[in-house]
Amino acid sequence: MEAGVLAKELTGAPLIIHIHATEFDRSGGTSGNQKIHNIEYAGICASDKVFAVSKKTPEILLSKNIKFSPKRLRLFIMQSKLQLLPTHKITTSELIDIWNI
């Protein structure tokens, strides 16, 4: 995520991240690695949109008091959403239209 934050700062492009699991998930709900927490926190706070791939992830993000607007959060269950995508290569503008970014 550090590269994404830097790219956003340098270009002004939106930072859109997707999360499969947080360090809290990977550590079994314990403290985990603080350096990884810090990287995740910075990326989430700097992001314009956050796509979570499970219902559990948004609950974890909100319960850990990560300071970001829930309005930026989208649930992205890949199997159901991918069926909506066209089979050709998607342009950035098409992606924006599909996901309301």
For residue 1, the model assigns a pLDDT of: 61
User: Using one digit for the tens of pLDDT, what is the confidence trace for 7-17?
Assistant: 999 999 999 98
For residue 11, the model assigns a pLDDT of: 92
User: Using one digit for the tens of pLDDT, what is the confidence trace for 61-100?
Assistant: 777 767 777 788 887 766 544 455 445 555 666 656 655 5
Read off the pTM.
Answer: 0.65
Q: Which two tokens stand for residue 2?
A: 């550090």
Compute the radius of gyration of the chain from its Cα atoms: 14
- CA-to-CA distance for 51 and 43, rounded, in angstroms? 12
DSSP 66: -
